[in-house]
Amino acid sequence: MMNKEVHIFADLEALSRAAAERFIRLAELAIAERGCFHVALTGGSTPRRMYEYLASDRYMNHVVWPSVYIYFGDERCVPPDHPDSNFRMAHEALLRHVPIPSLQVHRMQGEQNPAEAAAAYAQLLDSQLPKSARDMPRFDLVLLGLGEDGHIASLFPGTVGLTIQDQFAVANFVEKLSTWRISLTFPVINAGTVIMMLVAGAAKADIVNRIMGEDGQAPRLPAQRIVPAGILEWYLDGAAARLTEHHTS
């Protein structure tokens, strides 16, 4: 059984506050231990409020931002100022508000050729991140969201990206969206010391219940292929956990 914790909060506000506080604590521990904190941000809508909390007067000064190194779990193949860009969302909600050196923010270059951008990102991870015991680039924290189809990052069901074991990042064609994405691969995600899965809203209740209920069985969904070397921490609101409380007691 994997190392897993499940935290359930009243709503997205409470989840976001708790997730921001966990980010602060993990940054504190990593910086105390090694002088830096390497974190992969997730895109989507769920994490925005957490990012806004981290940028708020109440929380901002609890992080030593000059020791933080920002990466992304995935990116859409659009320019960084495009409404769909994960970088743009994180920049608006967090990165433009905190004193983090711009050279320490590593976005995936969604405006480039996907395969070239993925290869360049893999090279960056290899050169910038410490290595795990299995010689994989190791994040201190990987933030993830969960799609209703069980995808994480841009590793969607039925896509080639799910199978990649010998690359750190991949250009992944997503048939159902008719679009390319850039994504970290499972070996890098799973090498993370802490993986935080942020899931909120009634629309996610079914997929959360399915994943929790099938815990320990052969993985059929991308999210079930998360087998962390460290720990997987679920941050759920009550609506997303509605069907699964009995699994999480």
Reduced to 3 states, what is the DSSP secondary structure of residue 75? strand
Mode of pairing for the β-strands spanning 4-9 and 37-41: unpaired
Q: Which is nearer to ligand 6PG, 48 or 62 (CB)?
A: 48
Window of 113-121, 131-139, 142-150, 166-174 that interacts with ligand 6PG by CB under 6 A? 142-150
Window of 57-65, 140-148, 205-213, 217-225 that interacts with ligand 6PG by CB under 6 A? 140-148
Q: How far apart are CA 8 and CA 248, in angstroms?
A: 9
Reduced to 3 states, what is the DSSP secondary structure of residue 64? coil
In the list 15, 37, 68, 86, the residue contacting ligand 6PG (rule: CB under 6 A) is 86
In the list 110, 147, 150, 228, the residue contacting ligand 6PG (rule: CB under 6 A) is 147
CB 247, min distance to ligand 6PG, A: 20
Does the protein bind ligand 6PG through residue 45 (CB under 6 A)? yes
Q: Which is nearer to ligand 6PG, 42 or 190 (CB)?
A: 42
Does the protein bind ligand 6PG through residue 94 (CB under 6 A)? no
Does the protein bind ligand 6PG through residue 149 (CB under 6 A)? no
Can you say whether the dihedral through the CA atoms of 77, 112, 138, 40 is positive or negative?
A: negative
Q: Which is nearer to ligand 6PG, 36 or 200 (CB)?
A: 200
Window of 24-32, 40-48, 52-60, 235-243 that interacts with ligand 6PG by CB under 6 A? 40-48
CB 147, min distance to ligand 6PG, A: 4
- What amino acid occupies position 90? A
Q: How far apart are CA 175 and CA 143, in angstroms?
A: 24
Q: Which is nearer to ligand 6PG, 44 or 219 (CB)?
A: 44
What is the radius of gyration, based on Cα positions, of the chain?
17
As given in the structure block, the two tokens for residue 6 are 């499940």
What lies within 8 Å, CB to CB, of 133 at 6+ separation is 229
- Let me know the angle formed at the C-alpha of 226 by 169 and 5, rounded to the nearest 5 degrees: 135
- Dmax (CA) for the chain in angstroms is 46
Contact 29, 68 (CB under 8 A): no
Does the protein bind ligand 6PG through residue 44 (CB under 6 A)? yes
Q: Which is nearer to ligand 6PG, 84 or 245 (CB)?
A: 84
In the list 46, 85, 132, 185, the residue contacting ligand 6PG (rule: CB under 6 A) is 46
What lies within 8 Å, CB to CB, of 94 at 6+ separation is 51, 52, 54, 55
As given in the structure block, the two tokens for residue 138 are 């190791």
Does the protein bind ligand 6PG through residue 222 (CB under 6 A)? no
Residues that bind ligand 6PG (CB under 6 A): 42-46, 73-74, 86, 145-147, 151-154
